[in-house]
């Protein structure tokens, strides 16, 4: 049996794979594959409508927020957001707490002034900055809710009157929060929400059309809203897998129910790491991610040996990101508790042998 701890594309529910597999051969008894249905037909419109309505229900979004399914992934949003929101003479505030925030800052500087309110680069992004001030005159404040590579997570929403923009790619729908507090949310689907190839953007309509900047049609959120995410051919299959995954999450009891399971998975793994001196977690305890758990070993040879043991036991995706090394276990919504239990038993056995 394979236990998938990959950081993304990542584990999805078995039920989703099964339904998607059937749809590739025959979508809903139509005799057509989901891969060949017209994107402007009622067949796909039903898929898109269910995906949008289920996301709205799970997140308890109000009518002022529009939900879009777009091409390009979260990295496209690094420049599409300031292109749509930030005027040439405007200023946006950014928090630098990891690789993806750093990339977002670089792209935003192409469209206006960027003020980095705080950074955790001084300690290799192993913590979330605290006590910073968000300038009242900022057009928006951008931050990454969960840092996939570094294993840190923001555990509360910043209190500010400045509109909030959040990259939720690696923890969206993993925990309850007031999503209506955000002016814009974006997330690549391939971690908690579906297959690679589509990006969900949730935007409050009153944020748009204020830059005075002419926009390429395909980059304009207002055009996408007016066309219901059908401005051009969408990634049909990726949207379909999102719909199935959102449907699955609703069947599990919603975001609150899955949050309790995620907390248990993370607690078990962190408790195990903290109890075994052979392993060393790298993130400050108060900022540890419930989605991406990272750790190292002080002896490089033991790291290689432990990775080999993981491979032998079907533990996939445990190797840490190339920029930080060590190990990373991603505990996304669809990962079963059993996989975490087996990993922690393996860690205990390995530590005992090396004691």
Is residue 167 among the annotated active site residues? yes
Is residue 130 among the annotated active site residues? no
Q: Are 115 and 93 in contact (CB under 8 A)?
A: yes
Q: Are 170 and 191 in contact (CB under 8 A)?
A: yes
273-282 long-range contacts, Cβ below 8 Å, gap at least 24? 273/347, 276/347, 276/348, 276/351, 277/351, 278/302, 278/350, 278/351, 278/354, 278/355, 279/347, 279/351, 282/124, 282/126, 282/151, 282/324, 282/326
pTM above 0.95, yes or no: yes
Is residue 191 among the annotated active site residues? yes
Beta bridge partners of 199: 70, 188
Of 167, 171, 220, 287, which is the active-site residue?
167
Percent of the chain exceeding pLDDT 70 equals 100
pLDDT at residue 355 greater than cutoff 80: no
Of 191, 248, 287, 295, which is the active-site residue?
191
Q: pLDDT tens, 186-217?
A: 999 999 999 999 999 999 999 999 999 999 99
Task: Give residue 323's pLDDT band: very low, low, confident or very high (50, 70, 90).
Answer: confident
Domains in the chain, CATH or no CATH each: 14-251 (3.40.640.10), 254-354 (3.90.1150.10)
Strand 141-144 with 199-204, pairing: unpaired
């Amino acid at each position: 049996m394979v236990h998938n701890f990959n950081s993304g594309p990542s584990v999805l529910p078995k039920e989703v794979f099964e339904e998607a597999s059937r749809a590739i051969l025959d979508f809903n008894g139509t005799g057509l594959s989901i891969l060949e249905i017209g994107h402007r037909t009622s067949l796909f419109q039903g898929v898109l409508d269910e995906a949008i309505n289920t996301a709205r229900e799970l997140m308890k979004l109000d009518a002022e927020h529009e939900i879009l399914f777009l091409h390009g992934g979260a990295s496209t949003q690094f420049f599409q957001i300031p292109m749509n929101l930030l005027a040439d003479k405007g200023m946006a505030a950014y928090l630098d707490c990891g690789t993806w925030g750093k990339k977002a800052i670089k792209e935003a500087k192409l469209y206006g002034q960027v003020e980095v309110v705080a950074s955790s680069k001084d300690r290799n992004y192993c913590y979330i900055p605290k006590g910073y001030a968000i300038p009242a005159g900022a057009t928006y404040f951008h931050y990454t809710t969960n840092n996939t590579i570094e294993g840190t997570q923001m555990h509360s929403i910043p209190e500010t009157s400045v509109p909030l923009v959040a990259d939720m790619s690696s923890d969206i729908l993993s925990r309850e929060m007031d999503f209506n507090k955000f002016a814009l949310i974006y997330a690549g689907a391939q971690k908690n929400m579906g297959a690679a190839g589509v990006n969900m953007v949730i935007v409050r309509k009153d944020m748009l059309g204020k830059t005075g900047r002419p926009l390429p049609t395909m980059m304009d959120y207002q055009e996408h809203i007016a066309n219901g995410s059908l401005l051009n051919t969408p990634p049909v299959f990726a949207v379909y897998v999102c719909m199935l995954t959102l449907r699955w999450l609703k069947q599990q009891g919603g975001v609150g129910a899955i949050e309790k399971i995620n907390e248990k998975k993370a607690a078990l793994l962190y408790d195990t790491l903290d109890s075994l001196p052979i392993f060393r977690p790298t993130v400050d305890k108060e900022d540890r991610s419930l989605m991406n758990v990272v750790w190292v070993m002080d002896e490089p040879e033991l790291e290689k040996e432990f990775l080999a043991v993981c491979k032998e036991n079907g533990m996939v995706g445990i190797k840490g990101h190339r920029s930080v090394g060590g190990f990373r276990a991603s505990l996304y919504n669809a990962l079963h508790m059993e996989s975490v239990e087996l990993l922690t038993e393996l860690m205990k056995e390995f530590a005992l042998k090396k004691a």
